[in-house]
Structure formats: C-alpha cells, structure tokens
Amino acid sequence: MNTLTTSKFQFSGQTSYYKGKVREVFGISDDVLVMVASDRLSAFDVVLPKGIPFKGQVLNQIAYKFLKATEDIVPNWLMDSPDPVVSIGKKADPFKVEMVIRGYLTGHAARTYKSGLRVLCGVDLPDGMVEDEKFPEPIITPTTKADQGHDEDISREEILKQGIVSEEDYIQLENYTKKVFQRGTEMAAEKGLILVDTKYEFGKDKDGNILLIDEIHTPDSSRYFYQEGYEERLKAGEGQKQLSKEFVRQWLIENGFQGQDGQAIPDMTEEYIASVSDRYIELYEKIIGEKFVKADNSNIDVRVKKNVEDYLAKL
C-alpha cells in the first residue's frame, strides 16, 4: 500500500518550506500556505520508520470539517482542500503559545495531580478528584511553542509577564479557545463521544486579525472518550475507552519504547501497520459520523502535485 512519507514537492510560486513531524507546509508568494498531511506516524516526539496508509487523509479531512464547522465563531486560516491530504489557506504569523484546554482530569493533568500538585499552568485544581473526572469548568493550560525539543507548561501570568502575547490578544485567544472547545464538545456529544482535551494554535494575518490555524479536533491533537459506559468506568476506577492515538503509545510502551536514549523502535509488521490504518479510519467514521472513502493512492505524489497546482492557478 502506497503511503506519503517524504514529499519532494516544489510548487509554483513557492517561497518557503517547513517540515514538521507529520505535516509539511509550503509558503506560496506572500500570503498563501499549502499544508500537506503526510502518512507519517509520531509518538513520544519520534517519527516512526513506516507510514500508515490513509492517515494523512484522515487527519486532513477531520480538520477540514471542524474548521468549516467553527468558522462562524472564530476566523480561521482555511481557504479550501483541493486534495484529500492538502489544505490551502491564508498565511499567519503564529503566536508562540499553544492553547491547551482540558475538560477532564486525564493525561498530563492527571499525572500532575497524582504527584500531589494542585496547580497546573497557574490554574488551581480542586481537591478530591479522581482520574478522568470532569472539571467543574474547562481549564486552559497553555504551553510554549518550542522550535525544537519539547513544549513546556506556562501560566497565563508568565505569558503576559514575558510579553510572549499581549494582554489584549491573550484575552481573545482564551475567548476563542473556550468557544471552539464548546462547539467541539457539542459536536462530539452528537456522535456519542466526549471531547476530553485538545489544543489550538493561533496566528495573526497581515492585517493583524487573529486566526485559528493548523488543524483542530483530530485524534492526533485531541482526546475523546466514549459517552457510553463513562460513568460506570469512572465509578469502578477503570480506564476510559478512548478515541485517540493513545493506542500507538501503549503498543510502543508494551514493546519497550518511550523515546528514550538507547531504546529501539519495535518492528512495525505489515499486519500492525494495517491495524493502525484501520484504527485511524474507525476514528474518522466515529468522530465525523460518515463512511470514510479511501482516495486513490496508486501515485500519491503525482495526484497531490496536480491538484495543488490546478488550485493555485485559479488564485
């Protein structure tokens, strides 16, 4: 099965190029970005050696649908998606923080809580909570956006003190974050899901407008629980049934890999790769509520190049 793991695109009018762990971003002239979602799989800040068929399509199409579904409450960068793995939109200068919002005590927040701390990113956490319990209100726990290495927790006060974001802009980022999370929560509930936590990135366009950028509400950036059985599992102290790429992390941990020095990435067999692909497709169908239609991947590079060039020619 063909996958898109390394792209060698050079698009008409291209002025810049950035390669992330999963996505590649191409600047076109002064104000347009082409974002290609690859089939690369990352975990523990490491890109695994083999691609996952249709993963890029799953991520791109989920993000596209959620960006379109929230554009009435926050302006975003997206213009169109001319290919199953491509989004094209307006260029924006990113803020150096990621807005992480949490509705439940899980993941990093739960680990912090178990250590005995009751403050996360300057936010006071209530006493007496158990893992996966819902917060009284969603909390915003920002991180710095690192050019290299790991993102770091940071408080609202420290962001303002360091001048990373102005107070006026930060208030708007908080406002947008809460509104988009609420919309995502409502959309998830319609599908029998709980949007547990997620992160958003924002930037400013050339006119100084704040835009929601990158991707939103995908299983790579968000955590979902199934509504059915949530209360029963919580009361029994059992782990929740999740929709996220946590299953990949668990497989790696079980096979002795957590991204630490000296650890070898376990062998990814064809059977395992196929199972991960099936799981991502299942995530799409559950989150979106539609049947996933596999794109023709017989020659992905040629398809992407043609679809992007045809779109750019019309701009």
Helix (H, G, I), strand (E, B) or coil at 261: coil
Domain region containing 187: 94-243
Per residue in 258-267, pLDDT tens? 988 999 999 9
| Under 8 Å between Cβ of 177 and 101 | yes
In a domain, 6, yes or no: no
User: Are 104 and 232 in a shared domain?
Assistant: yes
pLDDT score at 304: 97
pLDDT band of 245, cuts 50, 70, 90: confident
User: Are 107 and 236 in a shared domain?
Assistant: yes
Q: How many domains does the chain have?
A: 2
User: Are 212 and 295 in a shared domain?
Assistant: no
Per residue in 106-148, pLDDT tens? 989 999 999 999 999 999 999 999 999 999 999 999 999 866 5
Cα–Cα dist 271/2, whole Å? 15
In a domain, 5, yes or no: no
Local structure of residue 115 (DSSP, 8 states): T
In a domain, 4, yes or no: no
Cα–Cα dist 124/251, whole Å? 33
User: Are 110 and 249 in a shared domain?
Assistant: no
User: Are 77 and 100 in a shared domain?
Assistant: no
Per residue in 54-111, pLDDT tens? 999 999 999 999 999 999 999 999 999 999 999 999 999 999 999 999 999 998 999 9
User: Are 105 and 192 in a shared domain?
Assistant: yes
In a domain, 163, yes or no: yes
Q: Is the pLDDT of residue 150 over 70?
A: no
User: Are 277 and 238 in a shared domain?
Assistant: no
Helix (H, G, I), strand (E, B) or coil at 94: strand
Q: Of 243, 274, 305, which residue is a domain's last?
A: 243
User: Are 218 and 129 in a shared domain?
Assistant: yes
In a domain, 294, yes or no: yes
Place of tokens 């509930």: 189
User: Are 199 and 255 in a shared domain?
Assistant: no
Per residue in 172-181, pLDDT tens? 999 999 999 9
Q: Of 214, 243, 272, which residue is a domain's last?
A: 243
Q: Of 224, 243, 262, which residue is a domain's last?
A: 243
Q: Between the CA atoms of 122, 126, 129 and 133, what dihedral angle is there, to the nearest 10 degrees? A: -70
User: Are 128 and 199 in a shared domain?
Assistant: yes
Q: What is the CATH number of the domain that holds 174?
A: 3.30.470.20
Q: Is the pLDDT of residue 151 over 80?
A: no
User: Are 197 and 116 in a shared domain?
Assistant: yes
In a domain, 8, yes or no: no
Compare 43 and 230 and report the one with higher pLDDT.
230
| Under 8 Å between Cβ of 192 and 243 | no
In a domain, 127, yes or no: yes
Q: What is the CATH number of the domain that holds 42?
A: 3.30.200.20
Helix (H, G, I), strand (E, B) or coil at 117: coil
In a domain, 55, yes or no: yes
Query: Within 13 A of 7's CA, how many CA atoms are on the CB side?
Result: 32
Burial of residue 38 (CB within 10 Å: 0-12, 13-18, 19+) is buried
Cα–Cα dist 35/25, whole Å? 5
pLDDT band of 12, cuts 50, 70, 90: very high
Percent of the chain with pLDDT over 90: 87
User: Are 239 and 104 in a shared domain?
Assistant: yes
